[in-house]
Amino acid sequence: MVRRVVSLGGGALAVLGVLLLSPAASLAPAVSEKGELPAKCSLAGSWVNELGSRMVISPANEAGLFSGSYLTAVSASANAIRGSPLQGGQHLASDGAQPTFGFTVHWTFSDSTTAFVGQCFLDEKGAETLETMWLLREQVATQAQGWKATRVGSNVFIRVK
Ligand code: BTN
């Protein structure tokens, strides 16, 4: 059997040392050069997801409650799509730079309701993303049809402005 020994020069060891000892910059939210605290990920504003659905969320109140509007790009209903109201809440804790949240959309053009839960993430450049999962409940005629009444999925929203 042939064994190969790889030797690291002083330069390579120094680079390795820096990499091992440096903070996990790619895992942490952006910190300014002045050493300011990381910015908070904010839900307020306009967002679009990978389906092309758009939503606008108003600034949360002191309790973390917010409202907004949702214009879906797709629908399980045959009705014409219309903008629909949303209502939700987010955590506001002092360490809540990347808060969890939940909101429901009361569809105005169908009998369905969607509940979204998710988390607002800041990347290393300070860009915000809303990672969500949702349950879409449609109305069925009888309790016996309940088994087919709920869809589940995920959406990722990026900020439009
Ligand atoms: C309906 O089909 O009755 C109402 C519209 C539902 C749209 C769903 S909600 C989850 C998913 N994400 C979207 O942006 N649109 C679909």
pLDDT of 38: 55
User: pLDDT band at 147, cuts 50/70/90?
Assistant: very high
Q: How far is the CA of 113 from the CAs of 20, 33, 68, 135, in angstroms?
A: 48, 45, 15, 8
Mutate to test the pocket of ligand 1, among 74, 105, 117 (most ligand atoms within 8 A of CB): 74
**Nearest residue (CA) to ligand 1, atom 4:** 75
Tell me the pLDDT tens digit for each residue of 40-94.
Answer: 999 999 999 999 999 999 999 999 999 999 999 999 999 999 999 999 999 998 7
pTM of the shown model: 0.80
Contact assessment for residue 57 and residue 159, using Cβ atoms and an 8 Å cutoff: no
Ligand 1 is surrounded, with C-beta below 6 A, by 49, 51, 53, 72, 74-77, 107, 110, 112, 114, 134, 136, 153, 155
Atom number in ligand 1 closest to CA 75: 2
The percentage of the chain sitting over the pLDDT mark of 90, rounded to a whole number, equals 72
Residue 16 — pLDDT band, cuts 50, 70, 90? very low
CA distances from 109 to 36, 53, 85, 104 (A): 46, 15, 11, 15
